[in-house]
Chain A
Amino acid sequence: MTDVSDCCGASSFSCTRCGVAPGRERGYVPAAVTEELKNTPLVEEHRALGARLVPFAGYHMPVQYAGVKKEHQAVRERAGIFDVSHMGELVLSGEHALAVVDYQVTNRVSSLDVGQAVYTVCLNDEGTILDDLIIYRLADEEVMVVCNASNHGKIAKHFAAAAEEHCEFDDRTETTALLALQGPRALAILKDAGADASLLDLGFFRLGQGQVGGVQAIVARTGYTGEDGVEIFCAATDAVTLFRALVAAGEAHGLAPTGLGARDTLRLEARLSLYGNEIDETTNPYEAGLGWTVKLKKGDFRGRDALVAIKEAGVSRKLVGFEMTARGIGRHGYPILDAAGTKVGEVTSGSPAPTLGKNIGLGYVPLEMSAIGTDIGIEIRGKTVTAVVVKTPFYKRSES
């Protein structure tokens, strides 16, 4: 057998964009990795829990424990815990820190409250996307930029250069661990793990600092699954203590350790973009459906001039969600076809949607084919399989 999956990001867990060769050898195992891989502080915890570890963005990361479907379902129905310590944490501080970060991103940073976070993209001068980020205002003059692991080197350099002579820059990626606790039971588990009361009623995209499981942590009401939950930052040296406290507190709630595999299917159902798939340095935020993160009125920022021109000209393509209407899974890189069978775009992400029991995906199509209900074709290994453009998010949790 040969793994013929098209490599990218979390879609196959061995990504060319991360410098890791895709598994194209006969026999299910990714091609040998030549680069030196790093470990998160929790690697032995993952091994003890039976995780399968794979190279991802330069780290050994757990792709699954009990199985993607079971983990996915656990997060939708109960809760899951994810080690995402591979992500980058960059802290900028000083009088001008907010202004420096604000200039590098499309969303508003200067007006964030202390204890508030915002999702944004960071552009180059051409108005295309260098990375998507969450910016956390930790204190009056301190902000944390959290970037994708696959972009860490690029983004660290970018912000270090921006900070030069204006504010302090500290890359805390190596000394910081990040756990995501997601699902309807997440807050109950956080409580049972002995979190400070102030951390239990945070608003969406709000954060607080305090004790969780005997460890000093930053807790933010953010996530990448479409469920309620929190993301918890702590010192790398405290990661095992925190992880064990959450796992122990989660036992009574049916908490499942959850890997990158389920993280990808969860975020896809919620239509959250994955860098390297939906967005990259060839896409702009308008066509990617991220125009809501662009605040042209906030003042100048990097890439603004280009965006104004793009907006005036209008986009020619758009990222849409689709559902397969015949047997097949449209995966990353597969051609999207019009009624005549001509290639008009490409799938950016596609997989079975465990919550929905359907095969879904995202991809770019020409504007005139982006209306909901439009019939499209996906070329799957030489055969055309039918699909239809549908409303996104594919999955939206019911408000409790």
Chain B
Amino acid sequence: MAHYPSELKYTKDHEWARVEDDDVVRIGITSYAVEHLGDVTLIDLPSVGTDIQAQERFGDIESVKTVSELFSPVSGEVVEVNEDLESSPEDVNEGPYEKGWLVAIKMSDPGEVARLMDAAAYEEFLTSLD
């Protein structure tokens, strides 16, 4: 079932961000996104060292039926990639906030994360969609 942990920040593109250090965030997609995607079968992620921009595409996620683009909640450099997803993309379905994380980013502007929605605001936003 859909759930939205209160310690995370969210975007209208259905990504979440978890601040881990002062300037590193781990990101993934929300359970809302997972429910709409269905069985995830393939994920294209950037390699460590890639610079990515907030709101811009940094990868693709494919389910049996669809391809969707991934947009980063923040700008910065990719410092870690979830390599396990290559062999077990279903981790995203099974645990979108835990083992299904996508990348960790060292933020170039830590102020960006404060502008994201909290769980309550994201859930409010979701009610406007369905």
Contact = CB atoms under 8 A, between A and B. Distances in A.
29 contacts: A1-B13, A1-B14, A1-B15, A1-B61, A2-B68, A2-B71, A3-B68, A11-B65, A12-B66, A23-B66, A26-B12, A26-B71, A28-B32, A28-B33, A28-B37, A29-B36, A29-B129, A52-B35, A64-B38, A67-B39, A68-B39, A69-B39, A327-B42, A328-B42, A329-B41, A329-B62, A352-B42, A352-B64, A359-B42
B42 A261 contact: no
Given A5-B65, A29-B130, A354-B64, 9 more contacts: A1-B33, A4-B60, A4-B69, A5-B66, A27-B129, A67-B38, A328-B42, A351-B64, A381-B67
Interface residues of B, number: 30
Nearest to B60: A381
Nearest to A64: B38
A261 B69 CA distance: 20
Contacts of B62: 329
Interface in A51-75: 52, 63-64, 67-69
A331 B71 CA distance: 22
Interface in A302-342: 327-329, 331
Interface in A330-379: 331, 351-352, 354, 359
B29 interface: yes
Contacts of B15: 1
A360 B64 CA distance: 11
Interface in B1-47: 12-15, 29, 32-33, 35-39, 41-42
A195 B60 CA distance: 48
Contacts of B67: 3-5, 329, 331, 381
Nearest to B130: A29
Contacts of B103: none
B68 A68 contact: no
Contact of B65 (A1, A26, A261, A359): A261
Interface residues of A, number: 31
Given A1-B71, A28-B36, A329 B42 contact: yes
Interface of A: 1-5, 11-13, 23, 26-29, 52, 63-64, 67-69, 261, 264-265, 327-329, 331, 351-352, 354, 359, 381
Contacts of B33: 1, 27-28
Given A1-B33, A1-B70, A67-B39, A27 B12 contact: yes
Q: Which of B37, B60, B62, B93 has the most CB of A within 10 A?
A: B62
Interface of B: 12-15, 29, 32-33, 35-39, 41-42, 57, 60-71, 93, 129-130
Contacts of B64: 68-69, 261, 265, 351-352, 354
Nearest to B57: A2
B21 to A, nearest CB: 26
A26 B13 contact: yes
B65 A68 contact: yes
Nearest to B63: A68
B41 A27 contact: no
B40 to A, nearest CB: 10
B14 to A, nearest CB: 6
Nearest to A264: B65
Contacts of B130: 29
